[in-house]
Amino acid sequence: MATREVFEHEPVSHPVAHYLVTVSELLEEYGYARVSDVARRIGITRGSASITLKSLRQKGLVTEDGRRFLGLSETGGRIAESVLAKRRIMKDLMVRVLGVSEDQAKKDTCEIEHLLSSETAKRAKLLLDFVDSDSKASLEFKRNFDRFAKKRG
Amino acid sequence: MSNQDSLRTLNEIFAEEVEACIRYLHMAVTIKGIDRLVLQPELLEAMNETLDHARIVAEKLLEMGGVPSLDLRIQLPGEMTTGRDAVRNSVEFERGALGAYQELMENAEGDVRLEEFARAQVALESEHLAHFKLLLED
């Protein structure tokens, strides 16, 4: 899928992004997702998960079959995919370029992944590609940045 | 199901019941319109029942060597509720509690007392759920 299509989605709130990504991850890992799985993964009660998932069903983002197994609609799936792509990029950027610890990067990414514009995500991806290119310029950039960061403490 | 698993499931159910109790209270005081007359007593009764269930689950936890713990993440908006929304929400969290007791029952194999306890609670929660579903019918 083209970069543009992956990154673009309607703005969603943090909880909505969290639920969609959780359903997507569960489907990927186990092949199914139930209310109880979502609740356990997020760390809330089934009652709370059930109420939020009901509103996501009404918004056409989540689906549920007769046996109460959850799925993502086309729009829901696109949003989850976009948020996950931004998460990967920002986490990579924080850890590999900025030198932030994995744990901190995970926390920070969770806070911003759903708010990030496609423009910023694309530029961040470009920067990562540049760093990964191992060209003379990218190696120099990394070396200079590390040296500068060290000096500043 | 190991004792640790049973304790974890019981703690989850404890949280379901306490949270449902808070939600019933919130809906009972925020319900608006003519539905308030009929549904408020109904919701308050449900609140008392879930509180009672929470206490029973907590006792069960203690009996099995655990200590009840709670980590609730609940935000209830400062908005009035319609009768229909209150009943719809009740169906959702009664379903949540029923699912949790069903899981406990399915995994309690070999522990007759725990299985019997879960079975009795499944029967009660099923009744609650059926009752609220009936209220949603036209």
Tens-digit pLDDT profile for residues A18-64: 999 999 999 999 999 999 999 999 999 999 999 899 999 999 999 99
Give the residue-averaged pLDDT of B108-115: 84
**Rounded Cα distance, B104 and B9, in Å:** 7
- Residue ranges and CATH numbers for the domains of chain A are 1-153 (1.10.10.10)
Question: In this prediction, does ipTM exceed 0.85?
Answer: no
B64 to A90, B50, B98: CA distances (angstroms): 46, 21, 21
Give CA–CA dist A143/A133, Å, rounded. Answer: 14
| Chain A closest-CA separation from residue B123 CA (Å) | 18
| Start-to-end C-alpha separation, chain A | 41
Which residues of chain A lie closer than 8 angstroms to B16, CB-CB? 45-47
Phi, psi (rounded to 5 degrees) for A134: 55, 25
Give chain A positions within 8 Å (CB) of B89.
51
Question: What architecture does CATH give domain B3-136?
Answer: Up-down Bundle (1.20)
- The lowest-confidence range among A4-8, A30-34, A138-142 is A4-8
Pair of tokens at residue B126: 């099923």
How close does chain A come to B68, measured CA to CA in Å? 15
CA distances in angstroms from A131 to A82, A148, B81, listed in the order given: 22, 16, 54
Q: Is A49 on the interface with B (CB under 8 A)?
A: yes
First to last CA, chain B: 42
Find residues 3-62 of chain B whose CB sits inside 8 Å of chain A. Answer: 12, 15-16, 19-20, 23
Chain A residues with CB-CB distance to B99 below 8 A: 35-36, 46
Burial of A110 (0-12, 13-18, 19+ CB in 10 A): middle
pLDDT for A11 equals 64
B66-104 residue pLDDT tens: 999 998 888 898 999 999 999 999 998 898 889 899 988
Gap between the Cα atoms of B87 and B99, Å rounded: 18
- The closest CB to that of A47, out of B71, B97, B103, belongs to B97
CA torsion, points B92, B97, B98, B104, in degrees to nearest 10?
Answer: 150
C-alpha B74 chain-centroid distance: 15
Residues sharing a CB contact under 8 Å with residue A108, sequence separation 6 or more, in sequence order: A90, A94, A100
